[in-house]
Amino acid sequence: MVVVALAKDDKSPVTVADFAAQALVAKRLSETFPEMGFVGEESAQVLRTPEAKETLDQVTHFVQQVEPDATPEAVCDWIDWGAEEPTDTFWTLDPVDGTKGFLRGDQYAVALGYVKDGIVRVGALGCPELAAAVRPDKGGAGSLLIARRESGAWAGTLGSADGADADDDWQRLRVSERATCAETRLLCSVEKAHTDTRGIGLLAKTLGITADPVPMDSQAKYAVLAAGGGDVNLRLISPSRPDYREKIWDQAAGSIIVEQAGGRVTDLSGTPLDFSQGRTLANNRGVLATNGLLHDALLAGLKKIGA
């Protein structure tokens, strides 16, 4: 496995895996749904530079394992299909959500969502290091979560050791029934730059939450929440980035999976997430995802601390 990372303009890392996954998904989506748009996290701009030739060769090598006729130019074109602005109907992809977790060998996810008229209709999360959608399992078969609006959310095995499909292990997901703030299990980002750790501590104190926060990378947090292994997934705005707005690919798949498992997802003011504003959730501040029972109490707590 190649895990060497490049730095994007915002200083976040991007790996060969990010590029290869986006290229392959884009290629398959363009063939299957040619009339739909596609919004991906990555751009091939850096790959088209002479300095990145070795990285592009590595990306092409891995893509060729699935698409034998792939060329470097075609790979870049497939990746860059995702650089477009959203249309009324489109797919959005985070090819490796939680790249730093991936580099550390911790939690990460491949996240794909289908959006129509600003509402997520379908979501899928592949979590290779997560068992039964709730338990870290390094090197295990992993979990695949899918949801369709009005049809529920389900989890199955991502893959077995011999590559066989596991068609008979799908389980319907259901959020926890915890309704007491003191026992709330908060799922929070590992990376301090992604959230306001001080604010989370203040919120916990305000609401009397005694359980320690559970740090976890990527939309795997949404998976754990949907499966009842946690109660709240909180994304506070970092004081160092007060104007930051979430990217749609970071929230689309996970949000519908939690909602279809019986949970609730809004921004920090209680407003539903609006996926009709381009590549970001421009009309929303932060994200609050809960089992539903705790949502109003968390919103009240957030208001009290001025978050």
According to DSSP, residue 274 is labeled -
18 is catalytic: yes
Which is nearest to 246 in space by CA: 111, 149, 77? 111
Give the DSSP H/E element, type plus range, for residue 13.
strand 13-15
Burial class of residue 149 in the structure, from the number of CB atoms within 10 Å of its CB (0-12 exposed, 13-18 middle, 19+ buried): middle
32 is catalytic: no
Compute φ and ψ for 206, nearest 5 degrees. -65, -40
Which member of 15, 92, 99, 157 is catalytic? 99
Compute φ and ψ for 259, nearest 5 degrees. -60, -40
Which member of 18, 94, 196, 217 is catalytic? 18
User: How is the beta sheet containing 264-266 ordered, strand by strand?
Assistant: 214-215, 186-188, 232-235, 287-290, 264-266
Give the DSSP H/E element, type plus range, for residue 6.
strand 5-7
| DSSP-assigned states of every residue in 151-190 | TEEEEEES--TT----TT--EE--------GGG--EEE-S
Give the DSSP H/E element, type plus range, for residue 74.
helix 72-81
Residues annotated as part of the active site: 18, 99
